[in-house]
Amino acid sequence: MCTAATYKTKDFYFGRTLDYEFSYGDEITITPRNYCFNFRHIGEVKTHYAIIGMAHTANDYPLYYDAFNEKGLCMAGLNFVGNAVYSQVNKENGKDNVAQFEFIPWVLSKCASVKEAEALIDNMNLVGTTFSEQFPAAKLHWIIADKNQAITVESVETGLMVYNNEIGVLTNNPPFPMQMFLLNQYMGLSEKQPENTFAGELDLQKYSRGMGAIGLPGDLSSTSRFARAAFVKAHSVSADTEEESVSQFFHILGSVDQQRGCCLVAEGKYEITIYTSCCNADKGIYYYTTYNNHQITAVNMYKEDLDSCKLIRYPQIERGSIMWQN
């Protein structure tokens, strides 16, 4: 369904793949500082941090899939069907009631760091209020990250859980603690060639490069994508220039790219990687590619009027072109 990751060289990078069988018409959307958020159970927030990310806009409201703010705090929601359970609105416990679709703008409008986000979440009820009949409450969990740390937030039957995300990766089911536990299966994998510990008396040959990672899963399930993205990220090496850092980040998420034809979800419908994003959270730049356009496209939030009050929206450039050399 989706994979998110963090990456750090000289700057801090964050992004995700969005894997689905169709698009809602997603746009790179900048919410400037004076756009008025009208939170369903809290009321209006008229001034806040500027936000940029990928969103579907309905009734002039940005329904963000992933985004970051001008302070460098990043956030993405990923599918968590079967495990996500939201609270009922509770006006008695003194906590803020935040609808699931408001969670990203609620955090990013107010918080400059993961530490601040943790404090905000500690005083929050995450509720299942729907945006509209056309957009019911999506069953999600979230990764929130800055240049210093990352956390995973899961609203489950036992309550709202917040986990330290040391690997800086998130996919889908099962719950995050189980995803981390399953990495134990791969502790013997390496970027180096293996040594023969199977049977010393046998003359076993290293017949190919890359044999140190034999056993790394290659299927499209969420547990396999989690392990593969975690391994590739953990072993990634790049220079710290913007070009090489961005390129390397797209290669990390490219390791879990979904191709049309490999994941059948209904008759004639296949899950594909609709878009992949890479955010330079330090410079305010949102990079992306789409399924039919692997040319990296970018939007810089600081080239816009961040003190305005109206959403700024850029449709995805979905078709690429071939650069001929003769």
pLDDT (tens digit per residue) in 217-249: 999 999 999 999 999 999 999 999 999 999 999
Q: Mean pLDDT throughout 147-175?
A: 97
Q: Is residue 53 one of the residues assigned to a domain?
A: yes
Residue ranges making up the domain that contains 145:
2-171+257-315
**Average pLDDT over all residues of the chain:** 96
Q: Is residue 223 one of the residues assigned to a domain?
A: no
Q: Is residue 227 one of the residues assigned to a domain?
A: no
Q: Is residue 326 one of the residues assigned to a domain?
A: no
pLDDT at residue 1, as a whole number = 81
Residues in the chain: 326
Residues 6+ apart with CB under 8 A from 295: 289, 317, 320, 321
* Cβ 318 vs Cβ 276: under 8 Å: no
Q: Is residue 48 one of the residues assigned to a domain?
A: yes
- The residue with greater pLDDT, 23 or 173, is 173
7 pLDDT above the threshold of 90: yes
Q: Is residue 192 one of the residues assigned to a domain?
A: no
pLDDT (tens digit per residue) in 298-325: 999 999 999 999 999 999 999 988 999 9
When divided into structural domains, the chain yields a total of 1
Which candidate in 2, 74, 111, 278 is catalytic?
Answer: 2
pLDDT at residue 34, as a whole number = 98
* Cβ 99 vs Cβ 127: under 8 Å: yes
d(CA 14, CA 2): 14
* Cβ 229 vs Cβ 78: under 8 Å: no
With a threshold of 0.75, does the pTM exceed it? yes
DSSP per-residue codes, 59-99: TTEEEEEEEEETTS-EEEEEE-TTT--PBPP-SSSS-EEEE
22 pLDDT above the threshold of 90: no
pLDDT (tens digit per residue) in 93-140: 889 999 999 999 999 999 999 999 999 999 999 999 999 988 899 999
Q: Is residue 177 one of the residues assigned to a domain?
A: no
Give pairs for 227-233: CB < 8 Å, separation 24+: 227/182, 227/183, 227/185, 227/186, 228/255, 228/256, 229/3, 229/5, 229/169, 229/171, 229/253, 229/255, 229/256, 230/167, 230/169, 230/183, 231/186, 231/189, 233/5, 233/6, 233/7, 233/167, 233/168, 233/169
pLDDT-based confidence at residue 205 (cuts at 50, 70, 90)? very high
CATH number, domain containing residue 268:
3.60.60.10
pLDDT at residue 267, as a whole number = 93
157 pLDDT above the threshold of 90: yes
Q: Is residue 221 one of the residues assigned to a domain?
A: no
Nearest to 79 by CA among 181, 171, 14: 171
d(CA 154, CA 175): 8
pLDDT-based confidence at residue 92 (cuts at 50, 70, 90)? confident
pLDDT at residue 24, as a whole number = 87
pLDDT (tens digit per residue) in 31-75: 999 999 999 999 999 999 999 999 999 999 999 999 999 999 999
* Cβ 154 vs Cβ 175: under 8 Å: yes
Assess whether 2 carries a catalytic annotation: yes
